């Protein structure tokens, strides 16, 4: 039980971190930017010496890219069905806020 609570707390903390590459790319809404595994791709691009993440992804890379990569991979995998739907142009009618 404690392990599940700790895992849930860690997941919520990762989702709430403003430095997460996946969250940054979801907020970017840059036309032509990658949608599928966008945070993981941003981290990987930065780790391999990519120069212009802002131009390519619409978001700056996180400060600690190597630490963010596993979290972005998990979050991108969880969001994969939505990313594929968005890439295919399927409107899911999902809206945030009130």
Would you put residue 32 in left (φ > 0), alpha (ψ -120 to 50) or beta? left
**Cα distances (angstroms) measured from residue 84 to each of 2, 39, 78:** 34, 14, 12
Residues in the chain: 98
In the prediction, which pLDDT does 92 show?
64
Domain range for 11: 2-88
- Is residue 94 one of the residues assigned to a domain? no
- Is residue 42 one of the residues assigned to a domain? yes
pTM for the structure as a whole: 0.70
- Is residue 33 one of the residues assigned to a domain? yes
- If one counts the domains in the chain, the total is 1
| pLDDT tens digit sequence for 15-63 | 556 567 887 887 777 778 888 898 899 999 988 988 888 888 888 888 8
- Is residue 24 one of the residues assigned to a domain? yes
Q: Are 64 and 21 in contact (CB under 8 A)?
A: no
* Structure-block tokens of residue 88: 């295919």
- Is residue 96 one of the residues assigned to a domain? no
Q: Are 77 and 84 in contact (CB under 8 A)?
A: no
Nearest-CA neighbor of 59 among 16, 28, 29, 14?
A: 28
- Is residue 60 one of the residues assigned to a domain? yes
């Amino acid at each position: 039980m404690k392990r599940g609570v700790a895992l849930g707390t860690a997941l919520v903390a990762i989702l709430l971190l403003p430095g997460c590459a996946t969250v940054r790319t979801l907020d970017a809404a840059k036309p032509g930017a990658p949608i599928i595994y966008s945070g993981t791709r941003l981290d990987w691009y930065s780790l391999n010496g990519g120069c212009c993440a802002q131009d390519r992804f619409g978001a700056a890379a996180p400060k600690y890219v190597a630490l963010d990569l596993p979290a972005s991979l998990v979050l991108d995998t969880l969001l994969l069905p939505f990313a594929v739907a968005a890439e295919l142009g399927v409107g899911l009618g999902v809206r945030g806020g009130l």
